[in-house]
Amino acid sequence: MQIFRIQGGSRLSGEVKIDSAKNSVLPILAACVMTEEPVTLLDVPNIEDVANMIEILRSIGADVVREKKAVTVRAKGSLTDELPERLEKTLRASVFLVGPMLARLRRVTFGYPGGCEIGLRPIDLHERGLRALGVVIDESSGRLRCDGGSMRGAEIHFDYPSVGATENIMMTAAMLPGKTIIHNAAREPEIVDLARFMNACGARVSGAGRQIVTIQGVKRMHGVTYKPIPDRIVAGTMLAAAAITGGDIYLTNAPASDMVAQIAKLRDMGCDVHDGQDTLRLRAPKRLRSFGKIQTQPHPGFPTDMQAPMFALATVADGSSVLMETVFESRFQHAHDLMNMGADITLGDRMAVVRGVQRLHGARVKAHDLRAGAAMTIAALAAEGTTEITQIGQIDRGYEALEASLRSLGARAIRTAE
């Protein structure tokens, strides 16, 4: 088993290029099966979630070739209509294949997907949306067998602006007869990116990024070469890593316009953040100030995926900070490990009060989930002594060689076998 071993106390400085966003790449990879023509995606990070999605695509009959940062998918010929149970349990995003396979084959069988253990994350909104489009779903076998032979465009209203459900219904509706209108759609940048990709392939999606999204069905879609948007969460994580060390960092290919909420909180903490067209520079003070309060919300609110990294910053900031998690009910698992490192934290129901201490100390901690792993890594950079982080496979799901990126900025961080 591999771990991260991090010696704290180094000030980070230097330049990092941000790859395409995991949360854009995964649904776009799924959408590739809607056409038999080749689709090439650029700047794709070499992370476990992408590797798992590629394996799932291959298992259903798609040809996938990866050359460095480019991934080409060709789903020519017949595809199997059943997602592999063994693989879908490793990846929450496997559910994104349901929409494209219904669009292409008019049928699909799948199970409940896996991913991070951060809460229930039900797929009931996906199911309701599919049923509204005319999909017949049979759950009697313990798996979901979907028959889309009678699908047609429809109006759908989501009780909650779910990113995954919005994306899945967009893809399902892309090649249906008639018009589909999604009310209370998610507005995340990744929604806009998926719509842009689909339109580049010949789809007709309008309104992405707003509360009402309209999909006019087309008869076919075609191949394209496409570069997904940069990863706003990876960019935010790198900024946080620099901030906690009093560092000076420059990011290229950075989605500054999609990071308004993150940047505002970093400025509240005393960081000088300059945002260019596709660049970001952060210069941190010797000691951060508390950010006051963060409440996670759907976009354009503060992203839940940045809650854990900002939690880590709060542990050594001057003053008290309050974090409220409204998106997932089990996303404070990092708090107890931070307390083991000397953090002063009081936990309530989906709320944490963090009183900044002068310094953390090294400890043996765990990456409970993807973003919790990022938080532990950030905290380790500021801790006195050595921190060992276990279960780093969780971190590898969304960050490509995070320890190497940090080392390039001056961190003393290695990956090693126990």
Which residues, 6+ apart, have CB-to-CB distance to 146 below 8 Å?
A: 98, 102, 107, 108, 109, 110, 130, 135, 136, 137, 138
Query: Could you write out the DSSP letters of every residue in 322-335?
Result: EEE--S-TT--THH
- What is d(CA 391, CA 369) in angstroms, rounded to the nearest whole number? 9
CA angle 98, 99, 100 (to 5 degrees): 95
- What is d(CA 401, CA 396) in angstroms, rounded to the nearest whole number? 7
Length of the chain: 418
32 is catalytic: no
Look at the block and give the residue holding tokens 């963060």: 294
Q: Are strands 248-252 and 155-157 parallel, antiparallel or unpaired?
A: unpaired
pLDDT at 394: 95
- What is d(CA 103, CA 80) in angstroms, rounded to the nearest whole number? 14
Structure tokens at 387: 């921190």
Structure tokens at 189: 């940048």
- What is d(CA 381, CA 8) in angstroms, rounded to the nearest whole number? 4
* C-beta separation of 317 from 290 below 8 A: yes
Residue 58 sits at φ, ψ, to 5 deg, of -65, -35
pLDDT at 89: 64
How many helices and strands in the chain, by DSSP H and E? 14, 23
Q: Find, among 57, 47, 64, 48, the residue nearest to 27 by Cα.
A: 57
- What is d(CA 207, CA 209) in angstroms, rounded to the nearest whole number? 6
Q: What is the pTM of this model?
A: 0.95
Structure tokens at 82: 């059943």
Instruction: Using CA atoms of 322, 323, 324, 330 in order, give the dihedral in degrees to the nearest 10.
Output: -140
pLDDT at 115: 42
- What is d(CA 216, CA 170) in angstroms, rounded to the nearest whole number? 10
* C-beta separation of 13 from 247 below 8 A: yes
Instruction: Using CA atoms of 79, 80, 83, 85 in order, give the dihedral in degrees to the nearest 10.
Output: -140
Under DSSP, the state recorded for 7 is E
Query: Could you write out the DSSP letters of every residue in 95-118?
Result: GGGHHHHHHHHSEEEE-------S
Look at the block and give the residue holding tokens 């201490």: 357
Instruction: Give the full edge-to-edge strand order of the sheet including 63-67.
Output: 63-67, 70-74, 39-41, 224-226
Q: Which residues of the chain have pLDDT under 70?
A: 87-93, 113-122, 328-330
* C-beta separation of 384 from 342 below 8 A: no
What stretches of 87-242 adopt beta strand conformation (E)? 107-110, 136-138, 144-147, 155-157, 179-183, 204-206, 212-216, 224-226
Structure tokens at 50: 């992408």
Peptide bond between residue 303 and the one before it cis (omega within 30 degrees of 0): no
Query: Could you write out the DSSP letters of every residue in 369-391?
Result: SHHHHHHHHHHHHHSBSEEEEE-
Query: Could you write out the DSSP letters of every residue in 273-319?
Result: EEE-SSEEEEE--SSPBP--EEEB-STTSB-GGGHHHHHHHHTTSBS
pLDDT at 84: 81
Structure tokens at 230: 């940069």
Catalytic option among 32, 116, 146, 201: 116
Catalogue all structural domains in the chain, each as residue range(s) with its CATH number. 2-18+230-417 (3.65.10.10), 22-226 (3.65.10.10)
